[in-house]
Amino acid sequence: MEDEIEVFELHEEGKPYKISHRCFYFSKEVIGFIKECKYDRIYHSMFDQLLRSTTSIGANVVEGKSGSSKKDWKNFYVIALKSANETKYWLCLISETMDVSKSKINDLIKEADEISKIIASIIVKST
């Protein structure tokens, strides 16, 4: 995986071409967002769930690539899709209940939505 993360092509808009790379950099963005946020204890579980769901997207995409069968591969991608949708939920909840940068969180929601659509498209086209 190490060399897979280092070498990648970019789309015109500067986003990684491979979905696994895009998920990796999205996870890094969310980790940075969480690191910058200051929050009371009551919000801890929301940020914990956000971190878990976000990092799960890329982890399942990468694990799906080494699946032992097409069914195994598809199961990992379905989990990645569910995690992307869960990530959008946590980002929206944080946006609505906390005083955070709306611009930054909207960018994260948009990226989660785009990743979700890409993964869904990959699943549909593979069946």
pLDDT digits (tens, 9 = 90+) for 92-112: 999 999 999 999 999 999 999
pLDDT band at residue 8 under the 50/70/90 scheme: very low
Give the predicted TM-score (pTM) of the model.
Answer: 0.85
Residue 64 reports pLDDT greater than 60 = yes
For the 2-126 domain, the top CATH level (class) is mainly alpha
pLDDT band at residue 16 under the 50/70/90 scheme: low
Dihedral sign, CA of 55, 117, 46, 97?
Answer: positive
More confident residue, 4 or 80: 80
C-alpha Rg value of the chain to the nearest Å: 15
Instruction: Return the bridge partners of 16, or none.
Output: 10
The residue whose two tokens read 């199961």 is 75
Give the Cα separation of 115 and 35 in Å (integer).
22
Residue 32 reports pLDDT greater than 90 = yes
Question: Span 37-42, mean pLDDT?
Answer: 92
In angstroms, how far is CA 95 from the centroid of its own chain?
A: 17
Give the Cα separation of 118 and 127 in Å (integer).
15
